Amino acid sequence: ACTIHPDLKRLLIEFHQAKRPIGATCISPAILAMTFEGIATLKLTLGDSEAQNQTLRQMGMEAIPADVRTLVS
């Protein structure tokens, strides 16, 4: 459980609307999922853990299983 700082959320949404790339590593895809829940469906990964990727799906994201050598775009 966490909250997204309003300025960060605004900036991420503005980047997405401007079709700018947003890179996310480690746990930061969860921040993107929280930011865009109910706004947009993003392709994200939280690794190859089905349980963690299922959490992304429950937030309306397209969860892609991936290992540390894989880029999801």
Q: Look up residue 20 and give its two tokens.
A: 């700018």
CA proximity to 39, closest of 58, 61, 20: 61
Answer yes or no: 26 catalytic: yes
> Which residue among 18, 26, 68, 71 is the active-site one?
26
CA distance 60 to 71: 20
Catalytic residues: 26
